[in-house]
Amino acid sequence: MYYYVYDEFIQDPRFERDLALIETRLTDLGIAGKIARLALFRDPKELIKDEIRKGAKTIIAVGNDVTLRRVIDAATDTKAVVGIIPLGKENMMLSDILGIPMGVEACDILSARIIEELDIGEVNGRRFLHTASVSQASGAEVLVNRTYKLKAFKKCSLEVRNLALEEDDVRAANPIDGMLECVVRTPTKGFFKKQKWNTSIVPAKNLDITFNETVTCSTDGDEFQSNNLCFKIIPKALRVITGKGRRF
């Protein structure tokens, strides 16, 4: 049974035509199912878990990366398969990496049902598929695999990556290798006083990171504040529908 989770923002009238096309195409493909429309007063995690207990086998987020993260929070460690139909203009990085096109075109990808088992990252009890990041902190102490420490005395930015594309100074993060990658960037002066960055990359299964101040941590479009971040990897915890154009 398919269960479609509509984010609150796509219930705006400007998405009516897109949703009508999507629902028609899903019916044509024989994969129409029950629909849940999220609202501020409803707990999406409990809503989705309840449907999984009732027999839902495939949970589809209809919205953006934030919608998908909510579905992941509920579906990780279950046998349910997760997918996404991207709608909107913001927070679309995950659907792009997974190879899922926008709108009605995603329906055919769901029907083809190419499934990958992916690792999931967790920070302070919050699950993430892509990256958890802190854009600026006055200092950080990183305990790696509970065995050794790294310290950044200067201001730094920090990312813990599970599924991420290659950048100029860092390799791609592979969500099927059983490891997280901690990327710490500290500023340094280059030629002609131009600012450059020193980049350190540390693969790990567990990370305990303490900051000198309260920082804002962003996880797949969501944010929370803390001065201590505890990370772990959960191998092969999520079954996800991907497209042929997936980027990992």
Helices (H), 80-169: 93-97, 106-112
For residue 180, give the 3-state DSSP assignment: strand
Sign of the CA dihedral running 231, 85, 38, 18: positive
- 2-112: CATH class: alpha beta
Show Cβ contacts of residue 188 under 8 Å, excluding neighbours closer than 6 positions: 195, 196, 197, 198
pLDDT at 111: 97
185 near 152, Cβ under 8 Å?
no
Looking at residue 146, what DSSP letter applies?
T
Assigned token pair, 192? 């002609």
Per CATH, is 126-235 categorized as 2.60.200.40? yes
Give me the amino acid identity at 219.
Answer: T
Tokens encoding 10:
């796509």
- Output the CA torsion 55→234→46→80 (10° steps): -20
The pLDDT, as a whole number, for residue 190 is: 57
Burial of residue 41 (CB within 10 Å: 0-12, 13-18, 19+) is: exposed
> Which segments of 71-113 are extended strands (E)?
81-86
Same fold, 2-112 and 126-235: no
| pLDDT for residue 89 | 86
Give per-residue pLDDT as tens, 63-103: 999 899 889 988 888 889 999 999 998 888 899 999 999 99
Q: How many CB atoms lie within 10 A of CB 26?
A: 21
Cα 243 off chain centre by: 17
Token digits for 197?
């960055």
Whether residue 93 contacts residue 185, with contact meaning beta carbons closer than 8 Å, is answered with no
Ordered alpha helix ranges (H), the chain: 16-29, 44-53, 65-75, 93-97, 106-112
Query: Is 152 in contact with 121 (CB distance < 8 Å)?
Result: no
Backbone angles phi, psi at 187, to 5 degrees: -75, 150
Average pLDDT, the chain: 91
Domain boundaries, the chain: 2-112, 126-235
The pLDDT profile of the chain, 248 residues, written as one tens digit per residue, is 999 999 999 989 999 999 999 999 999 999 999 999 988 656 788 889 999 999 999 999 999 998 998 899 888 888 899 999 999 988 888 999 999 999 999 999 999 999 999 999 999 999 899 999 998 887 789 999 999 998 887 788 999 999 999 888 888 999 999 999 999 988 776 555 556 778 989 999 999 999 989 999 999 878 999 999 999 999 999 999 999 989 88
Q: Which residues are bridge partners to 224 per DSSP?
A: 217
pTM score of the predicted model = 0.85
Cα Rg, the chain, nearest whole Å: 19
Which helix (H) or strand (E) segment holds residue 158: the answer is: strand 156-161
